[in-house]
Amino acid sequence: MRSTSTVLAMILLLAACSSSPGGSEAAPSSGGAPSQPAASEAASGEPTPGTALTACELVSPADIEAALSFEAGTVSEGDLSQKGTVLDPASNECRYADDAWGGLVVMVTPTDGVNTFDALVDVYGEQAEALDIGDGALWFEDNDRGYFLQGSVMVILQFTFMVDGTPFREPTIALGEALVAKV
């Protein structure tokens, strides 16, 4: 059983990493994922990320264009930042923003995603819709956020705005399915 302080630390970390201008701060909930084996470890004993792909590669401009039925070339490259944390030094984030279509934040926890996802389910499980994608997926309607787990990799998707008012749920799910296939 995880200690309360460990669960709290993971939740606070996610809340801090997933905040965005105009976005809500509510955390996800409900649904469950089967327990995953720990991430593989390199010869040094350090956990190895479950993917070498960055957040901008897991959700590319072409993926966003397909999810939103945009013409090719509508979405520009995202801005990648390495957001390494104490819990997952390999974590990173990609931000897409364009006044012509909208904005999306993609946050990747490539090494310790399973433990983070499980902690979210434990604490907020009743507040989210469980989705049948990858090893686990949650949709949080209250903050329009999707959480997707595949192996040791967890990805959070949050549209920050859509110029045309498109609801966020369906494109988030389409992107989640596409990124899980890449992991």
Q: Is residue 69 part of a domain?
A: yes
Q: Is residue 102 part of a domain?
A: yes
Number of domains, the chain: 1
Q: Residue 170 contacts by C-beta under 8 Å, 6 or more apart in sequence? A: none
Q: Is residue 78 part of a domain?
A: yes
What secondary structure does DSSP assign to 133-177, as a single string?
STTEEEEETTTTEEEEEETTEEEEEEEEEETT---SHHHHHHHHH
Please give the average per-residue pLDDT across 28-54, as a whole number. Answer: 58
Q: By three-state DSSP, how is residue 106 classified?
A: strand
Sign of CA dihedral 18, 22, 25, 28: negative
Q: Is residue 38 part of a domain?
A: no
Domain that holds residue 119: 4-20+50-182
Q: Is residue 37 part of a domain?
A: no
Residue 99: per-residue pLDDT = 94
Instruction: Report pLDDT digits (tens) over 105-161.
Output: 999 999 999 999 999 999 998 999 999 999 999 999 999 999 999 999 999 999 999
Could you give the C-alpha distances from 152 to 34, 49, 112, in angstroms and in order?
12, 7, 6
CB 18 within 8 A of CB 79: no
Q: Is residue 65 part of a domain?
A: yes
Q: Residue 8 contacts by C-beta under 8 Å, 6 or more apart in sequence? A: none
Residue 45: per-residue pLDDT = 58
Instruction: Report pLDDT digits (tens) over 91-106.
Output: 999 999 999 999 999 9
Q: Is residue 39 part of a domain?
A: no
Domain containing 14 — which CATH number? 3.40.1000
Q: Is residue 85 part of a domain?
A: yes
